[in-house]
Amino acid sequence: MTYLDTECLAPLISQESINEKVQEYARIIEREYAGKDLLIVMIMKGAFCFVADLVRELKIPACIDFLTCSSYGMRGTVPGELKVHGIERLDVKGKHVLLIDDIFDTGRTLSEVYSRIKLLEPEAVGSMVLLGRNTEREVVYHPDHVLFQVEEDAFVVGYGLDYKEQYRGLPGICVLHHHE
> What is the phi/psi pair of residue 102, to 5°?
-75, -50
If the CB atoms of residues 36 and 45 are measured against Mg ion, the closer one turns out to be: 45
CA dist 114 and 145 (Å) reads 14
Tell me: does residue 103 bind ligand 5GP (CB under 6 A): yes
CA dist 179 and 140 (Å) reads 30
Judged by CB under 6 A, the residue of 101, 125, 143, 159 near ligand 5GP is 101
> Which among 111, 160, 166 is positioned nearest to 131, based on CA atoms?
160
Catalytic choice (53, 101, 105, 162): 105
105 in catalytic set: yes
Judged by CB under 6 A, the residue of 58, 106, 148, 164 near ligand 5GP is 106
Judged by CB under 6 A, the residue of 15, 17, 19, 71 near ligand 5GP is 71
Instruction: Output the smallest distance, CB 30 to ligand 5GP, in A.
Output: 25
CA dist 139 and 78 (Å) reads 19
| DSSP-derived 3-state class of residue 102 | strand
Q: Which residues are catalytic?
A: 105
Site for ligand 5GP, rule CB under 6 A: 46, 71-72, 101-109, 155-157, 161-163
